[in-house]
Amino acid sequence: GAVVSQHPSWVICKSGTSVKIECRSLDFQATTMFWYRQFPKQSLMLMATSNEGSKATYEQGVEKDKFLINHASLTLSTLTVTSAHPEDSSFYICSAGGSLGGPYTDTQYFGPGTRLTVL
């Protein structure tokens, strides 16, 4: 199946700093990428949908100025958590789908996740 990578796999930062998380589709082109957040013992919750070359669409309750998303190419989307606070500590997961005529149009593939801890 298709491979999606995330970097870093974990990060610890101080309150008030910004953290950037990268999501890459390694062997296919992803016109759409998604960012999810998962708190302990809960299911994945969609934060935003990222389309290549256009502005991301955020879910209700997700602050777009706090969670900056950039989808600059068909293989890379980034999520920047600005002015992070302890309540932003969570497991952030991206997924990618919607390739351009390749073999993966039916399915979304997920990255391994990034665990963010804000002190």
107 binds other proteins (CB under 8 A): yes
Q: What are φ and ψ of residue 55, in 5° steps?
A: -70, 150
Q: Tell the smallest beta-carbon distance from residue 68 to other proteins (Å).
A: 18
Which two tokens mark 109? 């593939």
Only segment of 12-20, 69-77, 79-87, 102-110 that touches other proteins (CB under 8 A): 102-110
Question: For the sheet containing 4-7, what is the strand order?
Answer: 4-7, 19-25, 76-81, 67-73
Contact 83, 16 (CB under 8 A): yes
**Which of 24, 25, 34, 78 is the binder for other proteins (CB under 8 A)?**
34
Q: How many CA atoms lie within 13 A of 66 on its CB side?
A: 11
CB closer to other proteins, 14 vs 41 = 41
Indicate whether 21 belongs to the interface with other proteins (CB under 8 A).
no
Q: Please tell me what DSSP assigns to residue 59.
A: P
Question: Which one, 10 or 83, has the nearer CB to other proteins?
Answer: 10
Interacting residues toward other proteins by CB under 8 A = 1, 4, 6, 31-32, 34, 36, 43-44, 46, 49, 91, 93-95, 97-99, 104-113, 115
